Amino acid sequence: MKLATVAGVTAGVGGAAIGGSILLKNSNSYPAIEELISKSKTKILVKDSDTKGWTALWDVYKKENTNNGLGKDTWRLEGWESSSKTTNILTSYKSKCFSLAKEKVKDADDQKYKEFVSKCARNKTVADLLAGSTLLSSDAGNKEQWKERFKKYKALKTQNTSYPIKEITLGDSDVETDDQHLKKIQDGCDKAWNREVDGTESEQSILDIKKWCSSETTI
């Protein structure tokens, strides 16, 4: 009887060890958060140099921890005192994000992934989809390029067609020699370039923005 009991316990321990080994093996095959978010159509991790992105995230973090003092903020960050005293983003906040990005999760439904998205990522924009290209600036030195684009863009509109970029609509009487009219295509390109995407954009719509708004394009 004792022998059977011992054997049963041994088998149970062995089974638990095997089960734990399988679980560990499976979790090791999970993707890192940074790999998973790279496949997202609407979210992107904030790069170290993205001051605007970090500022927005930090403002949210401070708001969430308005009444939390030293050692009581969500992540218990080194250097945190209070939302009013800790005005500038802490290095420890960024470090936490970079560390979290390396951790492995099963999928996008994992709570750790959701935490990362809310605190370390931002909405993806058209500019992100056009990485490697730059928006043509509205500097005076580019005015002739903008004028040429204005004329050719306006020529696209016919009775049966609409303009390809929703942020850029020109009036029938608009002319490229009028700075206020020219500003329509310049400002429209800026808005289109920085527009947040929802993942349903067609490839052609993104290429249209690149064609009419990027500095690399020759029209």
Q: What is the DSSP letter of 198?
A: -
Kindly report, residue by residue over 39-66, the tens digit of the pLDDT. Answer: 999 999 999 999 999 999 999 999 999 9
Q: Is the pLDDT confidence value at 12 over 70? A: no
Give dist(CA 132, CA 43) in Å, integer: 18
Q: Are 123 and 138 in contact (CB under 8 A)?
A: no
Q: Is the pLDDT confidence value at 67 over 90? A: yes
Q: What string of H, E and C letters represents the secondary structure of 92-129?
A: HHHHHHHHHHCCECCCCCCHHHHHHHHHHEEECEHHHH
DSSP helix, strand, coil percent of the chain (3-state; round to 5): 50, 5, 45
Q: Estimate the crossing angle of helix 91-101 against helix 51-64, to 10 degrees.
A: 100
Number of H helices, E strands in the chain: 9, 2
Q: Is the pLDDT confidence value at 215 over 70? A: yes
Kindly report, residue by residue over 140-180, the tens digit of the pLDDT. Answer: 999 999 999 999 999 999 877 899 999 999 999 999 999 99
Q: Is the pLDDT confidence value at 26 over 90? A: no
The model's pTM: 0.81
Q: What is the DSSP letter of 50?
A: -
Confidence of residue 184 (pLDDT cuts 50, 70, 90): very high
Give dist(CA 128, CA 181) in Å, integer: 28
Q: How far is CA 120 from the centre of its chain?
A: 9
